[in-house]
Amino acid sequence: MENLNKTTVAVPNTLEDDPRIGHFLEKKLAEDDLPEAVIIGFPSDKGVTRNGGRAGAADAPHAIREQLYKLTPNPENYTAFVDLISRSTDLGNINIRYEVEEDQHRLGEIVAKCLEQGVVPITLGGGHETAFGHFLGYAKAGLQTSIFNLDAHTDVRPLKEGQAHSGSPFRQAIEHESECSEMYLVAGLQPNSVAQSHLKYIKESGGEYMLRDETNITSISGLFHQHESDRLMVTFDMDAVDQSQAPGVSAPCANGLPSDLWLTSAYLAGRNEQVTSFDLSEVNPRHDRDNQTAKLAALTIWNFLLGLSERE
């Protein structure tokens, strides 16, 4: 596809009976074969710096791929998992120009093509401005969707001097002229990092929110189905995870969600047939420790793929 740069990631040399995910994702599909899912990189953190955050998320797509490509297919659901990733591919990275709005529209064009063809796009951010580019795919395709965000923050801040940033994507989606955003659902919120006015805004727009202590597997499962749309756009912000397990993020969280809840949530998203797209944002390799956060991000994608492979 245009606007994409193919990336190069080393895949481990292994025996034939020990394949890794990278061996499958790097293979080219036949021109007339539509993939089941595609990976897209959005290597930009301009929206993070606009929002006063620390730079580094632009390096995340490559760091996540390096860890993802090393992972093995699920051994207990091997046939279905391999069948899925054999029919999936990594498209590479969006050509970023560091103009947030232009880059978001570029991502939206790629996501729209995927949605129109029934392909599940999996976007690796980047800052959380990734999410509005992700949403623009629905707007450009003329498809209504609910939005589920797992995040420590609401990210419904107003624009800054008319400019988009990593804290504004869901206000932009809710107020977008396309009216393609049907409902905004957000879980994992830190009460010490959320303005009362933002919670009020979500409620008044018809959305729902859940604070960190209310966020568990049961409540997340309920939110996944708490919408009337035929589609659900899912976006995970890595800063929702506890800092001890995800130190390499743009805004570390001292009392975040445990990684097992995070990973199970990704699996549930993959299994849910209403989920038509997924993105993962705010991994910051410059502040990571022994690739700990990049590895967790790769496992997040792995779990989403596992769930996707088990759809009936």
Count of structural domains within the chain: 1
Domain assignment present for residue 199? The answer is: yes
Q: Does residue 8 have a pLDDT over 90?
A: no
pLDDT digits (tens, 9 = 90+) for 50-85: 999 999 999 999 999 999 999 999 999 999 999 999
Peptide bond into 53 cis (omega under 30): no
In the 8-state DSSP scheme, what is residue 249? B
In the 8-state DSSP scheme, what is residue 146? E
Domain assignment present for residue 25? The answer is: no
pLDDT digits (tens, 9 = 90+) for 232-245: 999 999 999 999 99
Task: CATH number of the domain at 263, please.
Answer: 3.40.800.10
Residue 205 sits at φ, ψ, to 5 deg, of -90, 0
Domain assignment present for residue 189? The answer is: yes
Domain assignment present for residue 21? The answer is: no
Give the CB-side neighbour count of residue 202, counting CA atoms within 13 A. Answer: 25
What average pLDDT does range 279-290 have in this prediction? 98
- pLDDT score for 114: 97
What average pLDDT does range 267-289 have in this prediction? 97
Sheet holding 232-237, edge to edge: 4-5, 88-94, 37-42, 120-125, 275-281, 232-237, 145-150, 181-189, 208-211
Q: Does residue 204 have a pLDDT over 70?
A: yes
The residue segments making up the domain with residue 195 are 33-309
Domain assignment present for residue 207? The answer is: yes
Q: pTM of whole model > 0.85?
A: yes
Domain assignment present for residue 15? The answer is: no
pLDDT digits (tens, 9 = 90+) for 115-172: 999 999 999 999 999 999 999 999 999 999 999 999 999 999 999 999 999 999 999 9
How many Cβ atoms from other residues are within 10 Å of residue 184's Cβ? 25
- pLDDT score for 312: 78
Domain assignment present for residue 4? The answer is: no
Domain assignment present for residue 17? The answer is: no
- pLDDT score for 28: 73
282 CB burial (10 A radius; 0-12, 13-18, 19+): buried
The per-residue pLDDT of the chain, averaged, comes to 94
